[in-house]
C-alpha cells in the first residue's frame, strides 16, 4: 500500500507524516523506516523508528534515490512501514518527472508487503496522473 500526503509548501505535510509514523509504532510488528533530507525532525519521531537523513549519503537524482530506498528496505526482511518525506526535494527533480520512482516503490511495496507513506509538495490537482491512484 502506498499513500501520498500532498499539499503546498508549509501546509503541514511533514507533521502529518511524522504523526503517521509515530501512530504506526503502536500497531507495527516489524520495523519502521523514515527517510528525509534533514535532521530537523529526528527527535520528533519515536525511538522505535529507524531515522535516515539522506543528506549524509549525497543522494543525487532519482536513480540514486531508488537505489537508496531499495537498499534501506533490503536491510531487513521484517520492515513493515516506509515513510519518505519530500521525494522530489531529495531527488532534485520535479514530481511530474518521477514516474520511475513511483513504479519502483509500488513494486517493492507489493513484493515486501510494505506500507509506504510519501509527502509531495503539490496540490491534489497538480499531482501527476501516475501518482493519483495513491491518494
Q: Tens of pLDDT along 50-62?
A: 999 999 998 888 9
Give the residue-averaged pLDDT of 65-77.
Answer: 93
The pLDDT mean for the chain works out to 95
Question: Are 61 and 91 within 8 A, CB to CB?
Answer: yes
At the top level of CATH, which class does the domain 2-132 belong to? Answer: alpha beta
Return the residue matching grid coordinates 495513491: 134
Say how many C-beta atoms besides its own lie within 10 A of residue 113's C-beta.
10
Residues sharing a CB contact under 8 Å with residue 33, sequence separation 6 or more, in sequence order:
49, 50, 52, 72, 73, 79, 81, 82, 83
Confidence of residue 117 (pLDDT cuts 50, 70, 90): very high
Q: Is 8 helix (H, G, I), strand (E, B) or coil?
A: coil
The pLDDT value recorded for residue 97 is 95
What is the distance, to the nearest Å, from the Cα of residue 11 to the centroid of all Cα atoms in its chain?
Answer: 17
pTM, entire model: 0.96
Say how many C-beta atoms besides its own lie within 10 A of residue 92's C-beta.
13
The pLDDT value recorded for residue 60 is 85
Q: Tens of pLDDT along 75-102?
A: 888 999 999 999 999 999 999 999 999 9
Say how many C-beta atoms besides its own lie within 10 A of residue 31's C-beta.
17
What element of type H or E holds 3?
Answer: strand 2-7
Q: Are strands 79-84 and 2-7 parallel, antiparallel or unpaired?
A: unpaired
Q: Tens of pLDDT along 26-43?
A: 999 999 999 999 999 999
Amino acid at each position: 500500500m502506498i499513500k501520498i500526503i500532498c499539499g503546498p509548501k508549509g501546509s503541514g505535510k511533514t507533521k502529518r507524516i511524522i504523526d503517521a509514523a509515530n501512530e504506526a509504532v503502536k500497531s507495527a510488528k516489524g520495523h519502521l523506516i523514515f527517510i528525509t533530507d534533514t535532521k530537523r525532525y529526528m527527535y520528533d519521531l519515536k525511538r522505535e523508528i529507524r531515522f535516515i537523513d539522506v543528506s549524509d549519503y549525497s543522494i543525487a537524482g532519482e536513480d540514486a534515490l531508488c537505489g537508496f530506498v531499495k537498499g534501506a528496505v533490503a536491510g531487513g526482511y521484517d520492515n513493515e512501514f516506509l515513510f519518505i518525506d519530500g521525494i522530489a526535494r531529495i531527488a532534485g527533480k520535479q514530481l511530474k518527472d518521477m514516474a520511475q520512482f513511483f513504479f519502483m516503490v509500488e513494486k517493492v511495496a507489493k513484493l515486501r508487503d510494505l506500507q509506504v507513506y510519501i509527502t509531495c509538495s503539490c496540490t491534489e490537482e497538480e499531482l501527476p496522473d501516475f501518482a493519483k491512484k495513491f491518494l
